[in-house]
Structure 1
Amino acid sequence: MAQEDKIINFMGWRKIAAAFSVLLLLASIGSLAVNGLQFGLDFTGGTQIEVGYPQAADLASVREKLSGAGFEGAVVVYFGAETDVLIRLQRGFEPGLGDQILAALQQGEAGAIELRRVEFVGPQVGEELRDEGGIGMLFALVVVMGYVAMRFQYKFSIGAVAALIHDVIIVLGIFSIAHLEFDLTVLAAVLAVIGYSLNDTIVVADRIRENFRKLRGEEPLDVINISLSQTLGRTLITSLTTILVLVALFYFGGELIHGFATALLIGVFVGTYSSIYVASNILLLMHISKEDLMPPVKENAELDEVP
């Protein structure tokens, strides 16, 4: 009885969770179709401007001045020293652009600001690389499905891949809905989310398989609830320690990795949720049973047991 008292009825909320996931997916797909992603300079190219200050520059003040002058969305970072500032704009090269930037920054400054260079930066990720990346991701999902099917059972592989697709679409959808900049660091975070979510799902699947073989008298729904309850402590500790690091990166890591930390924070929450309610829910929808996971019986097993 003590063990039963600790079991949480996760699957009792499975229909509400499924409806919630469908709403999130529809909103994400709709926003991606209508608004798309706000690609950064890594994907679109733009103009890069370096300026030098006589003393340490205040990046927040620099961004405010640029926004007030009509240069919204500028990426402003230190370049080597706190007196050197690099400004990246999502616009093509324009004559006199450097002078306009310099005039905007000079307002309210006691010392003279030096314009060091203005150059156009081409996109680091072209159409061909984007297409190849998409094909590579699809291939990776097929490999994951094959691996999970061989290690567990094909129903687990469908659940695992569905959870991965669910997580990626929602992370991209939130970036689209919130109009957050999508650059190479965010792309790296999305790939990290896939690994995090897959690891969580594999841990849960391993415990479900083990319990199906041990708890032969239990119903599939009860076995899944027991398995999720047993892995809950590990899931929460892993998620919380990861979130603590990401929150620190989000607030203190600087603008260059702000998008990376944001995408991973979203991905950790969504990945933890999907390993419980997406992958496991699909197992129930596909009528997983102990017969699916029982090891094959040897033909001469009974004869071998006779003395």
Structure 2
Amino acid sequence: MSDSDKKPFDFMGLRKIASAVSIFLVVAAIALLAVRGLNLGLDFTGGTSVELEYQKPPALEDVRATLTEAGYEKFVVQNFGDDNLVLVRLAESRNDKLAEEIEATLTAGGDELKLISSEFVGSQVGEELKEDSGLGLLIALAVVLIYVGMRFQFKFGIASVLPLAHDVIIILGIFSLFQWTFDLSVLAALLAVIGYSLNDTIVVADRIRENFRKMRVGDSEQIINESIHQTIGRTINTSGTTLVVLFALFFLGGEAINNFAIALIIGVVVGTYSSIYVSANLLVALGVTREDMVIPPKEGAGEAEEEEQPPEWLNRM
């Protein structure tokens, strides 16, 4: 039996189960966000930023251990610019001598370093950043709706935006469940997930549109099922190679980008699922048909064809 004769896997046969799973995950994520909330990082809550320069590149794990032993609880330690430069960000404090205390604590641990600068960011700035971040996500989804609606059809726009919201809500729910720190790097990962998932969804949507115009038999579910079958290999290959890179970032990139990598890993997995099931499910639910795919005739097309007909005397030759 040739590949063309093989019956494709019935993806749409599982669409009711997939719908139940998606609804459960989204409702659970929203409940977690309402009850537990997000463990917001210093980017959103405000705090003190201390920049230090070491004589020799320090082990960041040792720096964190020294600060923990000294009684500091909520802080972030990372390199910036150079291995000798260390940025320490701590939860909000109006102690004017906090930077000097951090320098003294780390110096007492046996390291040779000097204080470069310190800066305090109030909670009001963090609150504004949180509001702007949420607005940025909403604008991104609105732009996607307009773009896909113009490129394909309005039903495709809805079937593209709702899966993106589905992906973002589930990621936020998982971060709320495990209370992983949500900071600007995770926000950047969410925006990247929107772009990744949208790309996957558009590939499937483009094939669905093409098959609606090309296939003369079969209902909407059969055509969508065939379209998913034709693109599933590309989807799996793309997701697999992306996950290889993301796992490398997670295991080798260090603590500073761990949450960024985790958010992207979850996003790629959920985004791949949603581009296959959530988006296609919505197209079936919205009742997409061949008529939605018909290309409207251009004005004056008939007149142009008449004008392009060769003269009668030429046809006699």
Same fold (TM over 0.5): yes
Distance 1:118 1:277 in 2: 51
Letter in 2 for 1:269: V
Output one character per residue of 1:147-192: Cα deviation in whole Å (capped at 9) or x when no partner: 2223222221111111111011111221221211122121111111
Q: Where do 1:179-194 residues align within 5 Å? A: 179-194=179-194
Distance 1:28 1:112 in 2: 44
Q: Where do 1:42-61 residues align within 5 Å? A: 42-51=43-52, 55-61=56-62
By how many angstroms is 1:136 displaced?
4.2
Provide the residue aligned with 2:228 in structure 1. Answer: 228
Distance 1:236 1:260 in 2: 22
Provide the residue aligned with 1:265 in structure 2. Answer: 265
Letter in 2 for 1:209: R
Letter in 2 for 1:216: R
Provide the residue aligned with 1:36 in structure 2. Answer: 37
Mean Cα displacement is larger for which, 58-67 or 273-282? 58-67
Matched, 1:178 2:171: no
Provide the residue aligned with 1:88 in structure 2. Answer: 89
By how many angstroms is 1:130 displaced?
3.9
By how many angstroms is 1:140 displaced?
3.4
8 A Cα contact 1:102 1:113, kept in partner: no
By how many angstroms is 1:73 displaced?
3.7
By how many angstroms is 1:209 displaced?
0.9
Distance 1:290 1:201 in 2: 19
Q: Provide the aligned length of Structure 1 versus Structure 2.
A: 302
Change (3 A) 1:49 1:235: same
8 A Cα contact 2:47 2:91, kept in partner: yes
Q: Where do 1:151-230 residues align within 5 Å? A: 151-230=151-230
TM-score (norm 2): 0.82
Letter in 2 for 1:12: G
Letter in 2 for 1:24: L
Provide the residue aligned with 1:119 in structure 2. Answer: 118
8 A Cα contact 1:53 1:114, kept in partner: yes
Matched, 1:26 2:31: no
Mean Cα displacement is larger for which, 180-189 or 142-151? 142-151
Mean Cα displacement is larger for which, 249-258 or 261-270? 249-258
8 A Cα contact 2:167 2:267, kept in partner: yes
Letter in 1 for 2:44: F
Mean Cα displacement is larger for which, 49-58 or 190-199? 49-58
Task: Answer with 1 or 2: which has the greater Rg.
Answer: 2
What 5-or-longer segments of structure 1 have no aligned partner? none
By how many angstroms is 1:277 displaced?
0.8
By how many angstroms is 1:118 displaced?
6.9
Change (3 A) 1:216 1:143: same
Letter in 1 for 2:17: I
By how many angstroms is 1:132 displaced?
4.2
Identity percentage of aligned residues: 53
8 A Cα contact 1:98 1:115, kept in partner: no
Distance 1:33 1:140 in 2: 23
Output one character per residue of 1:45-70: Cα deviation in whole Å (capped at 9) or x when no partner: 21233456564422223323333443
TM-score (norm 1): 0.85
Mean Cα displacement is larger for which, 196-205 or 52-61? 52-61
Distance 1:125 1:193 in 2: 26
8 A Cα contact 2:47 2:90, kept in partner: yes
Distance 1:275 1:214 in 2: 22
8 A Cα contact 1:93 1:120, kept in partner: no
8 A Cα contact 1:45 1:120, kept in partner: no
Distance 2:213 2:20 in 1: 31
By how many angstroms is 1:99 displaced?
6.6
Change (3 A) 1:219 1:173: same
Output one character per residue of 1:42-98: Cα deviation in whole Å (capped at 9) or x when no partner: 222212334565644222233233334432342112355545533221131336645
Mean Cα displacement is larger for which, 193-202 or 283-292? 283-292
Provide the residue aligned with 1:149 in structure 2. Answer: 149
Output one character per residue of 1:130-150: Cα deviation in whole Å (capped at 9) or x when no partner: 434434433432332232223
Mean Cα displacement is larger for which, 113-122 or 240-249? 113-122
Provide the residue aligned with 2:309 in structure 1. Answer: none
Q: Where do 1:89-104 residues align within 5 Å? A: 89-94=90-95, 97=98, 101=102
